[in-house]
Structure 1
Amino acid sequence: MAETTPADSLIDDGLLARIRSRAALHDRENTFPHDDLRELAEVGYLRMFAPVDDGGLGFGLERVAREQTRLATAAPATALAINMHLVWTGVAKVLLDRGDDSLRGVLQDAVAGEVYAFGNSEAGNDLVLFDSRTAAVPGPDGSYAFTGRKIFTSLSPVWTRLGVFGRDDSDPSNPLLVHAFLDRETAGVTTLDDWDTLAMRASQSRTTVLEGAVAPASRVFRRLAPGPNPDPLIFAIFSNFEILVAAVYTGLAQRALELAVEAAHRRTSMKNGGRPYAHDPDIRWKVAEAGIAHDGIPPQIAALAADVDGLVAHGAAWFPKLVGLKVRATETARVVVDQALRVSGGSAIASSSELGRLYRDVVAGLFHPSDGESAHSTVATALLGPIPE
């Protein structure tokens, strides 16, 4: 059976139903779900991580991941888009919990209604956070001008703050990766209308072009050496990104399993005298296979998120745990959706089919960091040690 929905969710059944009712239209028309964002903001969704004293809800990562799983059962693309705001506010929360208030302003902004987006991904940059193709040129006043192209900028139509990073090579012997926030109105920031994809269409994860876009010194929050770095910012980004991505695809899988169960009871077999396919041993096997695969993932998300909230010291083991969770969740979701499609029959490939949309959306899980190759490299190094030079 599918996972039971917690009774204390911010998203009540009525809101969930309204969001689900709009998902197909946004997918078909390739539009951003403005109504979803508005209604979620009204119930406090964008300020979940902010402390109660700042006007937030004071949630930890475990609770936020659970909310994202529920949202993704209705509209995976909406959940994936909002993930990027939640990653930045979650980063600020992880740092604050560890005595670093350098991004507390992000949490205060979220309470004030600002929407944060994640502008770090770059085409051809498989080093992810450990290097950048974007140039970061320092100004005499501590500001930085960023020039480059950022891909997969979810929330493109609505973000008001964009987290970016680039490489400062002004001192060739001491290059730096510079992290900063840009405002939407910043000169030199252009959002392309180039999002027309197979999957996660409503996320509107368009390309952002930076042409000398200046972040003032007050918005520059980290300067780090290239390569793996022990700075808490890196852990904060990885932990929130990997766990929340896992939550979204797990919610997608939960919905696919629900649809498989409904189809098995609805469809009947002429071969078996009109009995429902829910009585057919082969169909029962497929539904059970999907259920077994899905059942193990929510507890893993909850446990790892609770460790982040509880400041558990996994040390170097954190990164293998995080990338492993993301890969397991996204790959398991693909298995669950595939089995659900087999159970549901040929009608599921209709353009109006919710399951058909989930089948397309789940493919995007292949491409979020850390991808399979990077994750396996991380885990292999943890288990076997690095490859000698």
Structure 2
Amino acid sequence: MTSHGAPSTNAASPLAPDLVERIRSRAAGYDRENAFFWEDLDELRAAGYLRPRSLLATARDQRLLAAHAPATALGINMHLVWTGVARVLAERGDPSLDWVLADARAGELFAFGNSEAGNDLVLFDSATLAEPRPDGGYAFTGTKIFTSLSPAWTRLGVFGRNGDRLVHGFLIRETPGWRSLDDWDTLGQRATQSHTTVLEGAIVTPERIARILPAGPSADPFIFGIFANFLLLISSVYAGIADRAVELAVEAASRRTSRKNDGRPYSQDPDIRWRVADAALALDALAPQIESLAADVDGLADHGADWFRLLTGVKHRSTETARYVVDQAMRIAGGGAYRNGAELSRLQRDVLAGIYHPSDTESVHSTVATSLLGTLD
């Protein structure tokens, strides 16, 4: 059982205890070598972890996986988001992405090629050009950043602008017209290997075009599916990082001794006990929020216009809470946690990535303000 309310497994979970321990044992090496998590991917695929499941089950397992290897969990998130989008559509009577579910069951690996430098409208506009072809397909030209799973994906979700429309589709790896830059050298989340992807007329065939939507905000179920799965699974990953930070804080407080308190462990120090409790109290609030919303997505609940407020809000609270919890754990663990070889040091670097995932803090507050106060004049 992981700390403070995060389920270690559920009945259908592919994450056996020996599997996640092996994954944890490799995490530091991937980080140190700035290497992709090939062994983790092979084992997770063999265990059936890439196959579609409910969002609630996936969120629980992603939290557990992140407590053992944050970068592996974050990278795998991108595949699980796309299978989740396909499930959202299928469960609402739209079979247009059933082929995504079939591909995932067959072992294909999906990734996101959506993020663009300077595009703070995220899914509502694109600097990439999508040029129509006579057969109904599109050729995409542009640059995508933060393409997690770059060394391994076999299906890449991309989108671009054609006039006043946004075209979404999936690129097959064997298709020419794209290249991946070996440019991932970051502070944290290093094993995701989220290289820049350059599209140079890469063709998506007609049957792989997922949506053509007007530019700007959209209530289309495809967009809802992306937001729901991405934001809740991102939240789960950072909650998992916080779970592990609390575990390490408890271990440190029990192990470290204090000369000023006659050699007793810091677990008997009132100030340290307060820090541990404060971190746990903050973390305890996340599971009810993440899991209730995941269950609502699975159960086809209708929150109407409040969906985006709820989803962006839980992502914001999860990433900010995780940063706070890791910071408390670093203070509890003392100077030894500041060494590069310490697991908490790696968690401190990994958790910072949460501020860069959409929706960012400014966007979240704008969404909530608009929900309560209406649009700006």
TM-score range, shorter chain: over 0.9
Take 2:14 and 2:328, find their aligned partners in 1: how far apart are those partners? Answer: 30
Residue in 2 that maps onto 1:253: 242
Take 1:2 and 1:197, find their aligned partners in 2: how far apart are those partners? Answer: 30
Aligned-partner SS, 2:168: strand
Residue in 1 that maps onto 2:320: 331
Q: Which residue of the other structure, out of 43, 47, 57, is the alignment partner of 1:43?
A: 47
User: Offset of 1:126 from its aligned partner?
Assistant: 0.4
Mapping for residues 91-170 of structure 1, pairs under 5 Å: 91-169=85-163
Take 1:26 and 1:176, find their aligned partners in 2: how far apart are those partners? Answer: 40
Take 1:97 and 1:5, find their aligned partners in 2: how far apart are those partners? Answer: 27
User: Offset of 1:5 from its aligned partner?
Assistant: 2.0
Gaps of at least 5 residues in structure 2 are none
1:190-234 deviation line (CA, Å, top 9, x unaligned): 011000000100011110000000111111121000011121111
Identity %: 63
Take 1:301 and 1:69, find their aligned partners in 2: how far apart are those partners? Answer: 10
Q: Which residue of the other structure, out of 18, 21, 24, is the alignment partner of 2:25?
A: 21
- State whether structure 2 residue 9 is matched by structure 1 residue 6: yes
User: Offset of 1:90 from its aligned partner?
Assistant: 0.3
Mapping for residues 1-389 of structure 1, pairs under 5 Å: 2-3=4-5, 5-6=8-9, 8=11, 9-47=13-51, 49=52, 59-169=53-163, 175-388=164-377
Aligned-partner SS, 1:10: coil
1:339-373 deviation line (CA, Å, top 9, x unaligned): 00000000001111000000000000000000000
Aligned-partner SS, 1:214: strand
**Contact map agreement 1:36 1:78 (CA 8 A) in 2:** yes
1:25-70 deviation line (CA, Å, top 9, x unaligned): 00000001111111111111000x2xxxxxxxxx210110000000
Aligned-partner SS, 1:197: coil
Aligned-partner SS, 2:9: coil
Gaps of at least 5 residues in structure 1 are 50-58, 170-174
Change (3 A) 1:7 1:387: closer
Take 1:60 and 1:112, find their aligned partners in 2: how far apart are those partners? Answer: 18
Provide the TM-score with structure 2 as the length reference.
0.98
Take 2:211 and 2:322, find their aligned partners in 1: how far apart are those partners? Answer: 35
**Contact map agreement 2:9 2:15 (CA 8 A) in 1:** no
Take 1:16 and 1:384, find their aligned partners in 2: how far apart are those partners? Answer: 45
- Greater alpha carbon shift after TM alignment, 270-279 vs 8-17: 8-17
Take 2:354 and 2:230, find their aligned partners in 1: how far apart are those partners? Answer: 12
Take 1:193 and 1:6, find their aligned partners in 2: how far apart are those partners? Answer: 36
Provide the TM-score with structure 1 as the length reference.
0.95
User: Offset of 1:7 from its aligned partner?
Assistant: 5.4
Amino acid at match of 2:200: E
Amino acid at match of 1:27: D
- Greater alpha carbon shift after TM alignment, 3-12 vs 322-331: 3-12
Amino acid at match of 1:302: E
Aligned-partner SS, 1:20: helix
Take 2:47 and 2:205, find their aligned partners in 1: how far apart are those partners? Answer: 33
Take 1:12 and 1:230, find their aligned partners in 2: how far apart are those partners? Answer: 38
Amino acid at match of 1:291: A
Amino acid at match of 1:220: I
Q: Which runs of 4+ in 1 moved over 4 A?
A: none
User: Offset of 1:6 from its aligned partner?
Assistant: 3.1
**Contact map agreement 1:2 1:258 (CA 8 A) in 2:** no
Aligned-partner SS, 2:126: coil
Take 2:344 and 2:307, find their aligned partners in 1: how far apart are those partners? Answer: 34
Amino acid at match of 2:171: L
Amino acid at match of 2:213: L
How many pairs were matched up?
373
